[in-house]
Structure 1
Amino acid sequence: MNDVNLGLYFLSEFAGTTFLLLFGCGVVANVSLAKSKGLGGGTLMVNWGWGIAVFVGVMASAYSGAMINPAVSIGLLVQGTIDASMFFVALPAQLLGGIVGAILAWLAYRKHFDEEPDPAAKLGVFSTGPAIRSTGSNLVTEIIGTFALVFIILAFADYGDVNVGIPGGLGPLTALPVALLVVGIGASLGGPTGYAINPARDLGPRIAHAILPIKGKGSSDWSYAWVPVVGPMVGGVLAALAAPLALGLGA
């Protein structure tokens, strides 16, 4: 940890999260905005798009261990894999990357945003929202989804195939198991809330939605915005606490 260049660490997390949100917001725009060639592609296309977004984001952020998610970062902090300085450098990098990646996706689909009449569809490109609005249930869903994400990432590391923070045994394919995991979480647990499972993935683009000059964009739904931040952070901590007991990490 003492040999980490924090400037490069910041840039690594920023680059990875930027690519994550460019591809992730991009696939949602493709399936939901008026006159897009992917219109109506459905939830499985979105799930696979986000999985590929994670793959790309991980590949772009190897130096920092490819966290690209504050929930993963806090889990690694609790576990002791990263220290406080790395954690507090990663967080703003991830948030800024989330904002910039979402802005780039908007630029790619700008004309389609102008053609889309539904403000909810526009917001949905940037941030998550519940299918049934129930704060307690929505929070629990995000905690469960993020617990699964972080716990299984730590399990990958225990097998020696994917070791976040240390080069993995699969070389360039180190990112593949995590990408498939995100596809699975989306397919299995994404229905209730749209599976943020990453505070930077939701808060960064929501900020972008609020500041961008999007025609007829409507509200950024700030009353819900804390759920996909708090839920994933709680899930990440719980996974880090449970993993040593269940997986024997550090034994």
Structure 2
Amino acid sequence: MDGFIGELIGTCILMIIGAGCGATLNLKKSYGQANNWFYVSIAWGFAVAFGVYVAGQFGSQGHLNPAVTLGFALFGFFPWKEVIPYILGQFIGAFIGATIVVIHYYPHFKETKTAEEGNTVGIFATLPSINNPLFNFLSEVIATFVFIFTLLNLGNFTQGLKPLIVGFLIATIGLALGGTTGFALNPARDWGPRFAYTILPVPNKTNAHWDYAWVPMCGPLVGGILAAGLQFILH
């Protein structure tokens, strides 16, 4: 139960900060409206870092990500009995975090009437810069592989300054590899908020693009499994 609560709260914190960054960048009359990829990458990096800190305080290992949880479990780095509570916590936490951002920015959604103005699912979930499903999938596999393989070599990443290191790792991956797909790296971080955008009464909302959603689900899972498998072979 501690793992479920920790993952739920930690992922919720991650989503509030990360989607809040997206809303700040995109919605009309927000002071932060500008398309600055460095800002996006740093904001999501710190979103993960603070989510890990909070999750760790509630007894979780701070995965916040089914690709981490499943990849670790498949190769013996994490107990199988904790997989379902962790993943449930991650998806529910991401949904709740996105909902809080909708409430916080509700007047701005009302002012932002079209996708061209910035009212898109991209505030919450990922979309490709160039729509090429095969290469979009490979981009997510590669970026998640780099993330999780590095993560596996950090030891207990909820302690001391290590969550900040994880945050800088995320930001670095965003800057280096995120320009193609928006670096989902995390099925819960994408699907939970995408579902929230779909079912909540968001003013002037546009297409949630579920046709693309298989990429941020499958790509990170494959990347995480490959990273954990390589770690297992090497050690």
CA distance in 2, matches of 1:146, 1:217: 29
Q: Structure 2 counterpart of 1:15, which letter?
A: I
CA distance in 2, matches of 1:98, 1:145: 20
CA distance in 2, matches of 1:46, 1:114: 23
Q: Which of 36, 51, 60 pairs up with 1:57?
A: 51
1:137 aligns with 2:154: no
Name 1:115's counterpart in structure 2.
111
CA distance in 2, matches of 1:100, 1:132: 30
Q: Which of 218, 224, 229 pairs up with 2:212?
A: 224
State how 1:29-40 maps to structure 2 within 5 Å.
29-40=23-34
1:15 aligns with 2:9: yes
Unaligned runs of 5+ in 1: 1-6, 158-162
1:104 aligns with 2:100: yes
Q: Is the 8 A contact 2:106 2:203 kept in 1?
A: no
CA distance in 2, matches of 1:181, 1:89: 26
CA distance in 2, matches of 1:221, 1:132: 14
TM-superposed CA distance for 1:41, in Å, is 5.2
Name 2:37's counterpart in structure 1.
43
Q: Which of 189, 198, 203 pairs up with 2:186?
A: 198
- CA deviation map 1:113-167 (0-9, x unaligned): 111122363311111000111110000000001001100001112xxxxx25xx6
CA RMSD of aligned residues (A): 1.3
Q: Structure 1 counterpart of 2:130, which letter?
A: I
CA distance in 1, matches of 2:222, 2:180: 18
Query: Given the two structures, how large is their TM-score scaled by the length of structure 2?
Result: 0.95
Secondary structure in 2 aligned to 1:156? coil
Q: Which runs of 4+ in 1 moved over 2 A?
A: 117-122
Q: Structure 1 counterpart of 2:153, which letter?
A: A
Name 1:82's counterpart in structure 2.
78
Q: Structure 2 counterpart of 1:81, which letter?
A: F
Query: Given the two structures, how large is their TM-score scaled by the length of structure 1?
Result: 0.89
Q: More deviation in 218-227 or 118-127?
A: 118-127
- CA deviation map 1:199-248 (0-9, x unaligned): 001000000000111122121111001110000000000000111344x3
Q: Structure 1 counterpart of 2:20, which letter?
A: G
Number of residue pairs the alignment of both structures matches: 231
1:72 aligns with 2:60: no
Name 1:160's counterpart in structure 2.
none
